[in-house]
Chain A
Amino acid sequence: MKISDCLKIVMTVSFMAFSLSSFAESVSDSNPPLMEVACRYEMKVTRITKPKSSITNAWFFWRTPNIIQTQDADGDHGEIWERTANGSIQYRKLYHTDKTAVEYMPTDMPTNNMSFDWFKLSGMMSKEELNTLKMIKIKRVLGRSAELRKGEINGQAVEVLWLPNENLSANIIKKDKINRMELRLIEITPLSLAVKQPIAIGDINNYRQIDAADFGDMENDPFVKKLMSAEGHHHH
């Protein structure tokens, strides 16, 4: 297996680890509404034994009380989580160039032991994880107050710079024997002032919507073909 392939997997998986959780607690009604923010992050994944082989990836993060949207720096791929009035969460992968959204239906999430923790989605750390980490000191990050917390989660050494006023992770460093992953906040502004805005929900709803469960029956679909061949051919 190539190192770049390995890092690619780690990158994908670790991004989701930062942003998502399974077996998560349900969202408490007592949580205050989260501040609407627009952020730019950079993630760097390094294989410990090959420090020069690191991969860096930048992405955007937009948060409103009930919608979280991300987008790769190239603007082509993104993800969106929408919290509905009854507490369900709709999750879609976005392919902006193809104006296509791939839906993961609520039906299938519990099947796969998936439940979304809105707090963790919104801040990239769950309350439980934060409580596991020891408060070291207060610092400043991009002009904002931040708590430096350290500890171990799931066998990984974890270091977090947490913005308590924004309920948001600024920096996260996770390290084990194989990889070091670092997420770093590059820019944060109130959403209303952000130069780069998320794709409007109305526009996304006008995309072609595909149920992920149908991929197996869409072998002749040009988008599905393109998606699979584009990524699948990396190794040929």
Chain B
Amino acid sequence: MQLFKKLNLIATSSILTIGIAHAAEPTPADWFNAGHQTVVNAKHLSRNNGHAKNVILFIGDGMGISTITASRIYDGQTKGGHGEENSLSFEKLPYLALSKTYSVDQQTPDSAPTMTAMVTGVKTIGDSLSVNQYVAHSEKDAKVIDANKLSTILEQAKQHGLSAGIVSTARITHATPAATYAHTANRDWEGDSDKLAGATVPDIASQLVDFNVNGGINVALGGGRTRFIPNTVTDPEYGVAGKRKDGRNLTVDWTTKHTNAHYVWDQAGFDAIDPNTTDHLLGLFEPSHVHYEADRVAHDKSGEPSLTQMTTKAISILKKNDNGYFLMVEGGRIDHAHHSGNAYRALTETQQFAAAVKAAIDATDPEETLIIVTADHSHVFTIGGYPQRGNPILGLTQGVGATKPDLDMLGLPYTTLNYANGTGYTGASNAQPEGSKTFSFPATAAWASGSEGHNPTSFSPATGRPTLDSAKVEDANYLQEAIIPLSSETHAAEDVAIFAGGPKAHLFHGIVEQNVIYHVMADALGFNDEEHSESDKD
């Protein structure tokens, strides 16, 4: 009887999660039972107070809560359901907290101090990577940086004999991955040619390759090739010159410095890597950031792995270490898509990010691996109006029972997703005429120079709003309307979510400062035991 009851509840719960288009519409009893089952499940949650052998920290760059909600609905709708009932992989992790993202000097932060907080336990100022707040912005002196650097969880993992890896869809020298291994007061000093004259602090790319703690970083997969190769060497995929002026070819240094080391730059090279015989893997798949997931397969010249493939390969290499590992995985282009004002690419990037989390969950044992999924900051991305359930999330708002889209007070339809500011402002810009803006300017009109969508440097005031239709707004290149005209949509200051599962995941609760994330990871890995063993007993 007990077993039957349990199965019945599981079946009811499934009705609410598999997509209503594929199942009977839940009855009131179904809703009630599913809600009850959630409570039953919560009662059976048991805290895992053991030490974590492994920690995987997932960062959805710019993945605010509205992005998660919209992506959840989009993902569910692509599976044929209404969408709202869907759950992304990481939403099923048992523990949740909210993270306050402000930095020492910013109400709305950038990715450098936020990631610094997460991997060092200390908040700092904008643009700074793993150095404390007392270091001036763009400090040139390596001695000053060294005296004020903050130890990162990745460095500590290496010091404790663990393996360490970083994976990103952004340049591997971009702020989020860089904060795990580099110390500098200017996040833009990614290559030696980016530094100010006279700066003695090493550039970020060289800090990655020269990282010397206990054998160095084991896996680094992402974009950003040009900061690793000298200006006398051309890119293997596109033929453009490298950016290093110091003559170093860091991809060569990587393989000569490490044992069982490989450098790969395309899908074929990546696929050929045998994790069992590889201890150090550097993969740089584009000169700058890698492709958006929405464009990756169709447009990449030489092929490049998805975030999920990179994550899986990284785990396969890192897990060989019996001491465990620390892995950071970033969905870096959620942020870029939002900056471009293009919800479609932000949602599809998040969808791929969720797939990477699922791959990690599937590849690890929850008893010994702490998985944390969070964001560094949010974006000014909104889900508004009163659309009916199942309304296409990228579509026009259409209310319950309505047969036509809802109209604003000008008599015009509007979308559910919008931005509070950015490039989707409908006044004429210097690049596109008045009206709706597109990520990719139509070929038949004059071609607007520039990529990364619409990159205006000026706008004229809009006169009213454009007339929208479903085909236009559900197009992959549509830029949702923005209230405030800006050259780039901005970050937002509200809290972001922290999802967690595994050892010590229960320590995430309530609303916490962002730097608490480090302290939970360090505690789970046992790094705090030496200093805090007495207080733990209390």
Contact = CB atoms under 8 A, between A and B. Distances in A.
Nearest to A227: B457
A30 interface: no
Nearest to B457: A231
A13 interface: yes
Nearest to B194: A208
A212 B458 contact: no
B428 A9 contact: yes
Interface string A175-217: 0000000000000000000000000000001101101110111
Nearest to A155: B444
Interface in B404-456: 427-431, 433-434, 439-441, 443-453, 455
15 contacts: A1-B434, A5-B460, A8-B430, A9-B428, A9-B433, A16-B447, A22-B441, A106-B287, A108-B451, A212-B451, A216-B339, A216-B340, A216-B488, A234-B458, A235-B460
A48 interface: no
Interface stretch (A36-44, A52-60, A82-90, A135-143): A82-90
B464 to A, nearest CB: 12
Given A21-B447, A107-B289, A112-B439, A228 B457 contact: yes
Interface stretch (B31-39, B206-214, B233-241, B505-513): B233-241
B239 A235 contact: no
A109 to B, nearest CB: 6
Contacts of B241: 205
B240 A1 contact: no
Interface of B: 110-111, 126-127, 175, 188, 193-194, 223, 231, 234, 237-241, 243, 286-292, 295, 298-301, 335-336, 338-340, 427-431, 433-434, 439-441, 443-453, 455, 457-461, 463, 487-490
B434 to A, nearest CB: 7
Interface residues of A, number: 58
B290 A217 contact: no
Contacts of B193: 206, 209
Main secondary structure of the interface of B (DSSP, over half): loop
Given A9-B429, A209-B193, A215-B455, A107 B290 contact: yes
Contacts of A105: 286-289, 451
A106 B240 contact: yes
Given A1-B463, A84-B240, A209-B243, A111 B234 contact: no
A106 B295 CA distance: 13
Contacts of A23: 443
A232 B458 contact: yes
B341 to A, nearest CB: 10
A213 B452 CA distance: 6
B294 to A, nearest CB: 8
A93 B433 CA distance: 21
Interface in A81-102: 82, 84-88, 90-91, 93
Interface of A: 1-2, 5-6, 8-9, 12-14, 16-17, 20-23, 79, 82, 84-88, 90-91, 93, 103-114, 154, 205-206, 208-209, 211-213, 215-221, 227-228, 231-232, 234-235
B455 A84 contact: no
A22 B490 CA distance: 29
Given A85-B234, A212-B455, A216-B339, 13 more contacts: A1-B434, A5-B458, A6-B460, A13-B448, A16-B446, A88-B239, A90-B240, A106-B240, A211-B288, A211-B289, A212-B451, A215-B339, A217-B111
A63 to B, nearest CB: 18
Interface centre among A12, A107, A154 (most CB of B within 10 A): A107
By CB atoms of chain B within 10 A, which of A9, A103, A232 has the most? Answer: A9
A85 B461 contact: no
Contacts of A232: 457-459, 487
Contacts of B338: 216
B537 to A, nearest CB: 44
